[in-house]
Structure 1
Amino acid sequence: MSLMYVGLVLLGAIIGAATGYALHKVVSSKRLNDAQELANRIIEEARKEAQAQKKEIILQGQDEIYSQKRQLEQDFKERETEIKSRDNKLQEQTERLERKREQATQKEQELLVQEKDFTRRERKLEEQAALLEEKMREQELRLQEVSGLTREEAKDRLFEEIESRTKHEAAKMMRQIEAEAKETASRKAKEILATAIQRYAGDYVGEQTVTAVTLPSEDMKGRIIGREGRNIRALEAATGVDLIIDDTPETVILSAYSPLRRQIAKMALERLISDGRIHPARIEDVVRKVQQELEVQLREVGEQATFDAGVHGIHADIIKLLGQLKYRTSFSQNVLQHSLEVASLCGMMAAELGLDVKRAKRAGLLHDIGKAVDHEVEGPHALIGADIAKKYGESKEIIHAIAAHHEDQPPKSALAVLVQAADSLSGARPGARKELLENYVKRLEDLEGIATAFEGVSKAYAIQAGREIRVMVNSESVDDDNTYLLCKDIAEQIEKNLTYPGQIRVTVIRERRAVGYAK
């Protein structure tokens, strides 16, 4: 029974396996068919898509071919145009070269003709020269026969005549040169004398070279002179000043070119008079003390000047020289005050021009430092001042500005020109320099007289204290062009005939007026 059971089980298993196989085969066959159909559809779709892409690619290729074809045609046309243009240029160049060749050929022919002509003329000139030489020989022989002189004798006589004439001309030229040299020397000597007078005495010699000391009584004159004149000799020897004791009541005159020496003598004499003890030993002691006090005072004055000008860092010896300028005058103008004015003007103008204000003030303050010692050192005070500034370590620009402020050196910087302008302004402003009323009025009258002397001038007015003259001209007799010429002529005439500080502005006015009345 167990075997039967096992057999049934095996049979069932076999049947099941067969049934499963058959079923699997049916399912597999169906799946295979489905897959085959799917594959066919995919292949068909792929074929259709490939055909579509093929058509698209073919169309794109055709478009690209068409585009390239058009580009090639365009390039071909451009190249063809370029080739034609080059051909035209080559044709033009060929034609120009041909024309030039023709011109060159023509010029060559002309040159050949000219060369032949020159050759012919040269032969002709040689023939004429030979003929002329022959005639000259004949003339020389005839002259020798007529004059009885040989060629060498005639040459010697001609040279003698030329030598005599040349000596005459040389003598005449020597006299002319000698006269011009005398005139130039005379003018130069006058300039040197005028400069020396200006440096040492100014406009008023007495006021700048002497100092008056008031005495308490006439008896004091005898005590100042001393026994056999020993006191006055001691005082003159100690101070280097000449004492003039004359009939002027209760006054002693101190005379010296150096203002410092006069100041020392004045202080010493006043102190001796107040003290009452006047003898040689006392004089020497008082003069020595006064010199020491004055040195301190000069340094204080110089320091105050640098403080007022706003300039610092100046050497102590230059500060002392600045203090000496307090006792120095130029054209009756105090030099220290003038230097402070120039420093201020330089600073103002430098500020307007955008330059270094401190350096400009420094140059303006020191520009006349040479006047402190120009009575002891030879040379123009501008160059003396430049040497002093160089000695005490001032900058090259400051040194050049000092040296060039009176054209002793040509100005090469803006600072030098600035100092020149400020120096002229300080000296030329009205009231800066002393001038007698009579001379002032006469200068104004002369100024107006020079202007009115010209033809066509109707009126002339000197204004701005003689610093400017305004000239009114007749518009009917003087036109616009002649106005400028008249202005120049008046300025030249003023420069020639008048002496004045600074400059004078000439303004010529021409106007036409029409006057009407409304009723």
Structure 2
Amino acid sequence: MVMGYVSGAVVFLVGLLGGVGLGIACRQYWVEKRNRQTREQAASVIAEARKEAETIKKEAILQAKDTLFQMKAEFERESKESRKEFQNLEKRLLQKEENLDKKSEALDKRETTIGKREKLILQQEKEIGDKEKELDAIMDEQRRRLENLSGISSQEAKEMLIRMVENEARHEAALMVKKIETEARETSDKKAKNIIALAIQRYAGDYVAEKTVSVVNLPNEEMKGRIIGREGRNIRAIEASTGIDLIIDDTPEAVILSGYNPIRREVARVSLERLISDGRIHPARIEEIVEKVNLEVENSIREAGEQAAFDVGVHGIHPEIIKLLGKLKYRTSYAQNVLQHSREVAFLCGIMAAELGLNEKHAKRAGLLHDIGKAIDHEMEGPHAIIGADLAKRYGESHVIVHSIAAHHEDVPAEDILAILVQAADALSGARPGARKELLETYVRRLEDLERIASSFSGINKAYAIQAGRELRIIVESDMVSDSEVVLLSRDIAKKIESELSYPGQIKVTVIRETRAVEYAR
């Protein structure tokens, strides 16, 4: 029994050892197999890496060869261009050397010629000096003979000439004084006429003139009866609401509005046109329309004043002054619109102030407001300059602006340069050609008279009146008038202009004599 257990244990041990040995053998087999696969994979990876390295190497070699080829081509191109530039530079240097050689030869020739000319000039100067001495001797001899023949010495002749010039100067001074007196009389007459015209213009009476009437066209003659209304109720309502007289006469299909106040006349015109287009004409409707049109015209006046201030570039003006500015849109002076005139004066003042280095904004402000008094001068007593200055002072304008407004027509003496600028700009805007209708014909006639007087002298080729008639430029025939005669000719023309024409200021007479020599190189 025991032996059986021992033999069974031995068998078990032998089997166990055999199994362990077999397991070890199998494990070693699998380890060797895995190592062999790993070595094969490593060899395969190495082989692929070597192939990829060879490929990269070949590509790098090809790229290097391509880059080298391009660099070589670029180098050859740059070398070729450099050689070409060097060749061109060499050609230019050779040309410059040739030019320098030619110039050097020309300078040598010129120096030789100049030396000869210098000798010739020195000889001529010596001959001229000798001739001048002979001429001085001859003139002394002639002077002595002239003194013997005339019986007076040269000193006495000089004194006599001085007395003649002095008498002529006194005569011209007398003429100048007479001219000033004549101009003063003309100015006083003109000022008197202006005062009369201004008085007529400011008078708000029942007169009918070109600037105090408006015409409203009617669709038919029957409309006149509707405007008059039963027993004249409609026409009386229109006149009472607008303050404007309606004249209904034999004028076909038209009604005349008469009144001095241009704003009221504008309100009446617009109201009547709306009533005609609406067809409902009765006192209640008339009052309603007139009230609406009054508001619209007031808005239009305010917008016109604001637009004028904006155009000129002036800001911070009181709203009441803006309204007064807008009223100037309906005011004219010698057929010149006062609002447009104020704009022009503002721009002119600004330009002159900028040229003189003064405050341009102050100058524009004074120019824009200088005629503000004309908006209400028919409602108040006194000159419009003083009225405008009082208004500007009342609405917070500075002392400089107020004084410039008051002094622009010399109602008060000018205290600073800004007031003088406003005076000058006001005169320029009013006196420029075409600004006022009654001055245009006089201006054109004066230009024609200036050219006519110049052309009446002999030897005149062309005559032009320029600078708005302030200058007369004359071109003479050079073969008929000499240089010495040009001075006398300008003097004679100026004397004739003084005797025949009447004009403000002075006229510059310029006589031009030109000699031309023309030749053609063939």
Q: TM-score, normalised by structure 2?
A: 0.54
Q: What residue number does 1:235 align with? A: 238
Q: Which of 402, 408, 411 is the aligned partner of 2:411?
A: 408
Alignment of 1:313-352 (within 5 A): 313-352=316-355
Shift in Å, 1:422 = 1.9
Separation of aligned partners in 1, 2:409 and 2:237: 41
* Distance in structure 2 (CA, Å) of the matches to 1:187 and 1:434: 16
Instruction: Verify the 8 A CA contact 1:471 1:507 in the aligned structure 2.
Output: no
Partner of 2:42: none
Give the SS at the match of 2:211: helix
Give unpaired runs (5+ residues) of structure 2: 1-186
Aligned with 1:424 (options 424, 427, 445): 427
Superposed counterparts of 1:353-372, under 5 Å: 353-372=356-375
* Equivalent position SS for 1:271: helix
Q: 2:395 aligns with which of 388, 392, 397?
A: 392
Cα distance in 1 between the residues matched to 2:499 and 2:426: 23
Report the residue type matching 2:286 in the other structure: I
Compute the displacement of 1:359 (Å): 0.7
Give 1:241 deviation, angstroms.
1.5
Q: Say whether 1:244 aligns with 2:278.
A: no
Deviations, residues 200-223 of structure 1 (Å, cap 9, x unaligned): 79xxx8442221212222211111
Secondary structure class of the residue paired with 2:380? coil
Q: Which moved more, 1:286-295 or 1:327-336?
A: 286-295
> CA separation of 1:340/1:438 partners in 2, compared to 1, >3 Å: closer, same or farther?
closer
2:504 is the counterpart of 1:508: no
Shift in Å, 1:482: 8.8
Contact 1:346 1:422 in 2 (8 A): yes
By how many angstroms is 1:289 displaced? 2.5
Equivalent in the alignment of 1:272: 275
Aligned partner letter, 1:254: L
Query: Do the aligned partners of 1:491 and 1:506 also contact (CA within 8 Å) in 2?
Result: no
2:310 aligns with: 307
Structure ID, larger Rg: 1
CA distance in 2, matches of 1:186, 1:428: 17
Tell me, yes or no, if the aligned pair for 1:235 and 1:283 is still in contact at 8 Å. yes
The equivalent position to 1:218 in structure 2, one of 216, 221, 232, is 221
CA shift at 1:379, angstroms?
A: 2.6
* Distance across 2 between alignment mates of 1:290 and 1:337: 24
Summarize the Cα distance change of 1:457–1:423 in structure 2 as closer, same or farther, 3 Å threshold: farther
Change (3 A) 1:425 1:187: closer
- Structure 1: where are the runs of 5+ without partners? 1-183
**CA 1:510–1:321: 2 relative to 1, 3 Å:** same
Question: Superposed, which structure 2 residues align to 1:32-43 within 5 Å?
Answer: none
The CA deviation at 1:457 is: 8.9
Q: 1:206 to 1:354 in 2, by over 3 A?
A: same
RMSD: 3.8
Aligned pair 1:461/2:464, yes or no?
Answer: yes
* Cα contact 1:209–1:259 (8 A) shared by 2: yes
Given residue 316 of structure 2, which amino acid in structure 1 is its aligned partner?
G
The change in CA–CA distance for 1:186 and 1:516 in structure 2 (over 3 A counts) is: closer
Partner of 1:256: 259
Identity across matched positions, percent:
67
Report if aligned partners of 1:301, 1:323 keep a CA contact under 8 Å in 2.
Answer: yes
What is the identity, as a one-letter code, of the residue corresponding to 2:509? V
In 2, distance between residues paired with 1:258 and 1:438? 29
Q: Is the Cα–Cα contact under 8 Å of residues 471 and 506 in structure 1 kept in the other structure? A: no
In the TM superposition, what whole-angstrom CA distance separates every residue of 1:225-270 from its partner, at most 9, and x where no partner exists?
2223232222222222122223332222212222111111111111
The residue identity in structure 2 corresponding to 1:270 is E
For residue 509 of structure 2, give the secondary structure of its aligned residue in structure 1: strand
After superposition, what is the alpha-carbon deviation per residue over 1:114-150, rounded to whole angstroms, capped at 9, x for unaligned?
xxxxxxxxxxxxxxxxxxxxxxxxxxxxxxxxxxxxx
Q: Which whole-Å CA distance do the structure 1 matches of 2:217 and 2:361 have between them?
A: 44
Call closer, same or farther: CA 1:518–1:362 in 2, change over 3 Å. closer
Q: Using the alignment, how far apart are the partners of 2:203 and 2:489 within structure 1?
A: 45
Distance 1:512 1:389, change over 3 A: same
Instruction: For residues 340-374 of structure 1, give each alpha carbon's deviation from its aligned partner in whole angstroms, at most 9, with x where no partner exists.
Output: 22212222221221111111111011011111112
Superposed, 1:59-98 pairs within 5 Å as none
Q: Against the structure 1 CA distance between its residues 452 and 280, is the aligned structure 2 distance closer, same or farther, given a 3 Å change threshold? A: farther
SS of residue in 1 equivalent to 2:280: coil
Q: 1:342–1:364: 8 Å Cα contact kept in structure 2?
A: yes
In structure 2, relative to structure 1, the CA distance for the partners of 1:470 and 1:218 (3 Å cut) is farther
CA contact (8 A) 1:198 1:331 kept: no
- CA distance 1:213–1:389, change in 2 (3 Å): same
Aligned length: 328
Structure 1 residue 191 displacement after superposition: 5.4
Map 1:180-191 to 2 at 5 A.
190=193
Letter in 1 for 2:284: A
Give how far 1:428 is off.
3.2
Q: Which amino acid aligns with 1:387?
A: D
Distance across 1 between alignment mates of 2:442 and 2:188 = 30
Contact 1:471 1:509 in 2 (8 A): yes
Q: How many Å separate the matches in 2 of 1:220 and 1:270?
A: 11
C-alpha change, 1:303 and 1:254, in structure 2 (3 Å) is same
**Partner Cα distance (2:492, 2:396) in 1:** 50
Match for 2:236: what amino acid?
Answer: R
The one-letter code sitting in structure 2 at the alignment partner of 1:264 is V
Note closer, same or farther for the CA distance 1:221–1:381 as it changes in structure 2 (3 Å cut): same
Q: Displacement of 1:275 after TM fit?
A: 1.9
Q: 1:303 to 1:187 in 2, by over 3 A?
A: closer
Aligned residue among 272, 285, 288 for 1:285: 288
Per the normalisation by structure 1, the TM-score is 0.54
Deviation at 1:493, TM superposition (A): 6.1
